[in-house]
Amino acid sequence: MIYSKIIGSGCYVPTERVKNSDFLENEFYDANGNKLLKANKDIIEQFKTITTIEERSKVDDNLVSSDMAYYAAMNAIEASLIDKEDLDYIIVAHNFGDVKADNRKSDILPSLAARVKFKLGIANPNTIAYDLLFGCPGWVQGVIQANYYIKSGDAKNILIIGADTLSRVSDPHDMDSMIYADGAGAIVLSATDSEEETGIISHKMRSDTLTHSQMLVMGKSYLDKEELKDELFLKMNGRKLYQYALENVPQAIKACLDKANVDIADVSKILIHQANGKMDDAIVQRLYKLYDNDNIPEDIMPMTISFLGNSSVASIPTLLDYILKSKLGTHQINTGDTVVFASVGAGMNINAFVYKA
């Protein structure tokens, strides 16, 4: 039977580090345009307590998302040991296209996938390149789509990339700007013939657009200033998003595990979108409660958000690459391990897949 296996991973983490202390001089305002009276030192300390973020990565001014996607893709292809001309699809998940340092307008023509294919120098016209917009869960959704292609016999090797430059679409006068980061992550998913169940064994998706589509939107800066009046920035209803995630992500993960006939006790790792450290902890705790299981392994959920921030679609593939390349302490994924991948974000969308290494 044909299964979809990860045969290579890669990532690009920008070298510039933005620490929490770098926000001490920012002027923060609320949604009504009122300047926050609390001292920035206290705002930042509270922010760290809520999110666990201490620093984040920021892309160089001369790079855009498709550049980072290319670097991550190169790493993944090299790790996979395949010929790049043997790729059947290139899927690039993002949310804002190529946003330049001096211009916040999204540039998505041609698609980022087409740009990556060009940068990779792939001549094969049968390597189909396209973009995927699905909020922060975009990379996971790309993997789910790639699995369908492989299962149908339509493809053997697929490159799935997640890349975003959130630092360029965040409002410096909004406290939420401290959450966002830049980066790219990628994998090569390949068809594997096996008599035993392996690779992707189940997935689950949901979209709650009727009631929750306004949790993440583009809006005006919180500072009413002439030079900012025509600009749009990423805006988040953090409190409602937090509540939505806690109520729905654990159930979606459980449904995915049930579909695979896997118990939570048999899961080795949970790789979840690095959105908010405390929120991710709460999601996992609620997930185990659904199984009446209080035995949560200390190493079940590797995290990078404290030092990389929230890089949207890049967060999970980057996390995976760090683990596979022994860059995240003692965390490992060994042959036979069962791993859950899950994400939540704009839409609102939730998705997950169960993977057997």
Share of the chain above pLDDT 70, in %: 100
Q: Give this prediction's pTM.
A: 0.96
Three-class DSSP category at 108: coil
Residue 34 parent element (H or E): none
Domains parsed from the chain with CATH numbers? 2-193 (3.40.47.10), 199-356 (3.40.47.10)
**Residue pair 314/185 in contact by the 8 Å Cβ criterion:** yes
**Residue pair 18/56 in contact by the 8 Å Cβ criterion:** yes
**What Cα–Cα distance (Å) separates residue 148 from each residue in 144, 202, 306?**
7, 11, 34
Rg over alpha carbons for the chain, rounded to the nearest Å, is: 20
pLDDT along the chain (357 residues), means of 10: 97 96 94 93 94 97 98 98 98 97 92 98 98 98 98 97 97 95 98 96 96 93 84 92 96 98 97 96 97 95 97 98 97 97 96 98
The rounded distance, in Å, linking the Cα atoms of 184 and 11 is: 5
